[in-house]
Structure 1
């Protein structure tokens, strides 16, 4: 029976069957708990990371969770114990809610006790499910609150305390890491930040390359200094120096050979979700593509397809963060900020190599 029309299929949103099968082939722990695979010949359901031998593709269907599998008459795998994944995920969600509701970040012992796990075990579990430790999650959450408060409060000091910080020093340290600049610079449109820039000839047309003292903050096509001014209205825009020229040459070479990759310093700001999407894009091997559904499945957010498209559109570093490697679920090219022809050319260059 075709897995797309199986009578046990659920209406719950989940990755498409091809993405689910690919996750099983890779034994991807990152998507455990998002769906289960059912082996029709044995009546067993497993989580994606199950170490058991894979069945033939035609003998496997996918359901959204263990409850749906049990309701359909299947039984849990005794090797991977998929029912436990659901409990783990609920524990992590409870911990995230605790962290979000706390005025000050709770300790690992407090978070683990709330979730009902031993601290050392829950530390590993939380990182597996979210990609960061509980402490890092708390810091990222406060940084997001600070970013929002900076747009609402009358002063930077008010925004810092509104976001839940006990002292400005920690706020500035977190902002430097998560926002790419200090709180006051963020609030004032890049005031006090020097950005050097240049228009660089590439095989796909002129590219705007801009960098702060920390690293690249903008790579784009069909843009110039006026566009850069829109992104950083109060920054000090300066002409290229020797360092920027060297970075620009590497960017131009990357356009010629996007499969080569480049280890370049960057200074980009983004939310925790955007950073996760961009990291997932960079993890796509050159010459391969992924759908938006596969990208959000990889970061544990299977229902955030539309938000993933927005995050790709907010990518400030064209080619270096390879959003050109994302296609529609039907294999179509989809959109690209700098034109479909450039996207197609980049993909073809990667496949050639």
Structure 2
């Protein structure tokens, strides 16, 4: 069992036992570790103690953040829906697949793919010379799901397995704290190249403007694109996000601060949110 799988098991146990407020000993026992080893594992993964992390997991904390950060979120998104945004202190540039590219279904296009471990489980990634176009978070190292999805999306493309090329992107997304990666990120935007409707593209650009450690609701996003009555359509567009984590749909909750679902598993969504929360408060 990987570190993330142990963490995910612990978080799911905490969610199920929320009313009982399980102790550190209870959680450690559930994942078959001593308190000492669990504390060390958790601190290595999250960067903070389990106690601090548990505070970030609470529903009350999410409700408070949504209330306090509404004006900040409005200010953040008020700069407009341009194609560039900041993530982890560096630029992310999002471009949409053109109608002609969509029509040819990848004819003449080479897509590079790989499977890599991340703090949130294995990631299947695919990219072209134009940018990253698929990132799925998986529960194991079986490449079948991601590869089949890539073939269905781009049936006429040439697919090439290239671990080193994809690893460079993974490091920029998930391991961005090193000085080398920070310098590279500040100079070269991370390019995203995605297939979607104009409505979906606008939603995904809005998501890119939610900073790490902050939250938004589906209604917030609908207001941002000047379609306040399109909350359901917004939810569908968020659910169609092709790039887990990098387009941060995990930062969108329901109005009551409940998770609101996540196609890469709700436990993973909660892990992402709490980890971002504690790291944001450490800055």
Is 2:128 the partner of 1:212?
yes
Corresponding residue number in structure 1 for 2:97 = 180
Corresponding residue number in structure 2 for 1:305 = 231
CA contact (8 A) 1:277 1:299 kept: yes
Secondary structure of 1:266 counterpart: strand
Distance 1:323 1:274 in 2: 12
Is 2:190 the partner of 1:273?
no
Is 2:230 the partner of 1:230?
no
The 1:28/1:346 distance shift into structure 2, 3 A limit, reads closer
Distance 1:29 1:337 in 2: 26
Q: How far has the Cα of 1:216 moved from its partner?
A: 0.5
Secondary structure of 1:217 counterpart: strand
Please show how residues 1-353 of structure 1 align to structure 2 within 5 Å. Answer: 179-181=96-98, 183=100, 185-222=101-138, 223-240=145-162, 242-253=164-175, 263-353=189-279
Q: How far has the Cα of 1:251 moved from its partner?
A: 3.2
Give me the TM-score of the superposition, normalised by structure 1: 0.47
Distance 1:22 1:252 in 2: 25
Secondary structure of 1:195 counterpart: strand
Distance 1:189 1:324 in 2: 29
Q: Which has the higher contact order (CA 8 A, sep 6+)?
A: 2
Unmatched 5+ stretches in structure 1:
1-17, 32-127, 133-176, 255-259
CA contact (8 A) 1:196 1:212 kept: yes
Secondary structure of 1:265 counterpart: strand
* Structure showing greater Rg: 1
Distance 1:245 1:226 in 2: 20
Unmatched 5+ stretches in structure 2:
1-64, 83-93, 139-144, 177-181
Structure 1 vs Structure 2 CA RMSD: 3.2
Q: How far has the Cα of 1:23 moved from its partner?
A: 6.4
Deviations 1:147-184 (A, max 9, x none): xxxxxxxxxxxxxxxxxxxxxxxxxxxxxx9642561x
Q: How far has the Cα of 1:189 moved from its partner?
A: 2.1
The 1:302/1:20 distance shift into structure 2, 3 A limit, reads farther
Q: How far has the Cα of 1:131 moved from its partner?
A: 5.5
Distance 2:273 2:171 in 1: 21
Give me the TM-score of the superposition, normalised by structure 2: 0.58
Distance 1:29 1:283 in 2: 7
